[in-house]
Amino acid sequence: MSGLYWGLTALHLLGHPEALPRAEVIAFVISCQHENGGFGAAPGHDAHMLYTVSAIQILATIDALDELDLPGRGGKDKVGAWT
């Protein structure tokens, strides 16, 4: 998750945010979310504050925070409660 965040940030700074497919970035981030609302470093990893912050930063960078509110994802409130 951290590597994706830094890579995405670098691509934005270089003026190439399109270099990473948005749908695939969203799918990866969501695949790292736990039922408790937190995010792990990769699918199957335990939720951790560092990776949760990175996940939220990634979704915010690509204007995808609303993805958290889709059915079955728990919503932004669940992420907030976990933090």
Domain extent for 23? 2-82
20 in helix, strand or coil? coil
Alpha carbon distance 43, 27 (integer Å): 11
| 44 — pLDDT class (breaks 50, 70, 90) | very high
Residues 52-63 have a mean pLDDT of: 97
pLDDT at 83 over 90: no
| 43 — pLDDT class (breaks 50, 70, 90) | very high
| 15 — pLDDT class (breaks 50, 70, 90) | very high
Query: Residue 83 CB: number of other CB atoms within 10 A?
Result: 11
Name the domain count of the chain.
Answer: 1
pLDDT at 9 over 90: yes
The whole-chain average pLDDT of the chain stands at 94
**Dihedral of CA 24/25/30/34: which sign?**
positive
